[in-house]
Amino acid sequence: MRDITLGQYINGDSPIHRLDPRVRLILTLVYIIILFSFKSILQMILALVFILIAYAIVKIPLKMLLKSLKPIIPIVLFTSILNMFFISGDVVFSFWKISVTKQGLYYAALMSLRVICLLAGSSLLTYTSTPIELTGALESLFKPLTKLGFPVNDLAMMMTIALRFIPTLLEETDKIMAAQKSRGANLDTGKLFERIKALTPILIPLFVSAFRRADELALAMECRCYNGGEGRTRLNELRLKRSDLKATLVFCLFCVLLVLAGKI
C-alpha cells in the first residue's frame, strides 16, 4: 500500500511538537506579521537566527530547509535585482546606464532575508503539525464565530472527513488505474488530449464510488447519533499547558529584542 503523507509533517517528539497546535499557529502568524512590520537588516538577521534555533530544537536537518527554499530562489533573486537597480540613492557603482545604489543593495538584502524567514517560519508550522491538529486548532480558535451563525463545527467536520478519505480515494484511484490498464488502457503515452481522454474511464468509476461512499458514510454517521455539530464535545480537548505559556514567553522576549534592535 502506498504510504501517503499529507503536508510535510515530520513525526517527532520535540518540545515544539508538544506545543498546543493553537499556540504554534498563532505564534507563526505573529512571526510573519513581525517580518513585514520591521525594516532593519539587524532585525531580519535576528529573526533568521531565531527560526534557525527553532529548527535546531525540532532537529530538522538544515538540508531539508534548504531544499524547501530552493523553488523560491529565482523569485528572491529577481526581486532583489529589481530592487537593487531601481532604488535611487548613493551610487556604489554603475555601468552603462544602470547604477546600483547603497539603498538598493540594502533593500535587496532585507527582502531576501524576509522571504527566507517567511518560508522557514511557515514550513516549521507544517513540519511540526499534522493537518488534523491544524483543523482542531482552527476549529477551537474560530469557535466564537459559531454565535454569529458561522458553521465552524460543520466546516471542521468536513475538513476531517476530507483528510480521512484522501488516502482511501488515492488508493482506489490506483486500483482503478491498474484495472483499466489491465484491460488495455494506455494512460502513459500519447498526446495531451488523448491522455486526458484516457482519464475518463478512471474518473467516472472514481466519482461513482465516491458518491456511494458519501452516502454510506452519512448513514453511518447518522446511526452514530451525529446531527450537526451542536452540543458536540471532544475526546481530546485542547488545553493550554505550562509549556505553552513558557514558549509564548520566550517568543515575547524575542519580540522585545527585535524592537530594541530597531532602536540601534
Partner 1 sequence: MREYIDFYEEGIVSSLIKFDNVSFSYGKNSVLQDIDLSVEKGEFLAVLGYNGSGKSTMAKLINGILVPSSGKVYVDGMDTSDEKNLSEIRKKAGMVFQNPDNQIVATIVEEDVAFAPENLGLDPKEIRTRVDDAIKAVGLEKHIKDAPHKLSGGQKQRVAIAGVLAMRPMCIILDEPTAMLDPKGRSLVMNVINRLNRENGITVVLITHFMEEAVLADRIIVLANGKIAMEGTPRTIFSEKDKVTSLGLEVPPVTELAIKLSENGIKVSKDIIRPEELIEAITALKEDIH
The site for partner 1, by CB under 8 A, has a size of 29
- Quick one: 148 or 225, whose CB is closer to partner 1? 225
Q: Rounded to the nearest whole angstrom, what is the least distance from the CB of residue 161 to partner 1 in the complex?
A: 7
Task: Report the alpha-carbon distance of residue 79 to residue 101 in Å, rounded.
Answer: 15
Q: Rounded to the nearest whole angstrom, what is the least distance from the CB of residue 126 to partner 1 in the complex?
A: 16
Task: Report the alpha-carbon distance of residue 258 to residue 30 in Å, rounded.
Answer: 13
Q: Which one-letter amino acid corresponds to residue 42?
A: L
Among 18, 58, 146, 213, binds partner 1 (CB under 8 A): 213
- Quick one: 188 or 230, whose CB is closer to partner 1? 230
Q: Cα–Cα distances in Å, from 247 out to 26, 67, 166, 226?
A: 12, 27, 33, 37
- Quick one: 26 or 213, whose CB is closer to partner 1? 213
Binding of partner 1 by 88 (CB under 8 A): no
Binding of partner 1 by 132 (CB under 8 A): yes
State the cell numbers at 255. Answer: 519580540
- Quick one: 106 or 165, whose CB is closer to partner 1? 165
Choose one: 15-23, 26-34, 180-188, 231-239; the region binding partner 1 (CB under 8 A): 231-239
Binding of partner 1 by 217 (CB under 8 A): yes
Task: Report the alpha-carbon distance of residue 231 to residue 261 in Å, rounded.
Answer: 49
Among 63, 70, 97, 234, binds partner 1 (CB under 8 A): 234
Query: Do the Cβ atoms of 118 and 127 come closer than 8 Å?
Result: no
Checking phi first, is residue 61 left (phi over 0); if not, alpha (psi -120 to 50) or beta?
beta
Among 49, 161, 178, 179, binds partner 1 (CB under 8 A): 161
**Which alpha helices (DSSP H) does 62-191 contain, by range?**
62-69, 73-86, 102-128, 131-142, 152-182
Q: Cα–Cα distances in Å, from 132 out to 27, 78, 79, 173, 241?
A: 18, 36, 35, 23, 20
Binding of partner 1 by 148 (CB under 8 A): no
Choose one: 38-46, 108-116, 137-145, 209-217; the region binding partner 1 (CB under 8 A): 209-217
Look-up: residue for cell 503523507? Answer: 5
Q: Rounded to the nearest whole angstrom, what is the least distance from the CB of residue 231 to partner 1 in the complex?
A: 4
Site of interaction with partner 1 (CB under 8 A): 1, 132, 160-161, 163-164, 167-168, 171, 212-213, 216-217, 219-227, 231-237
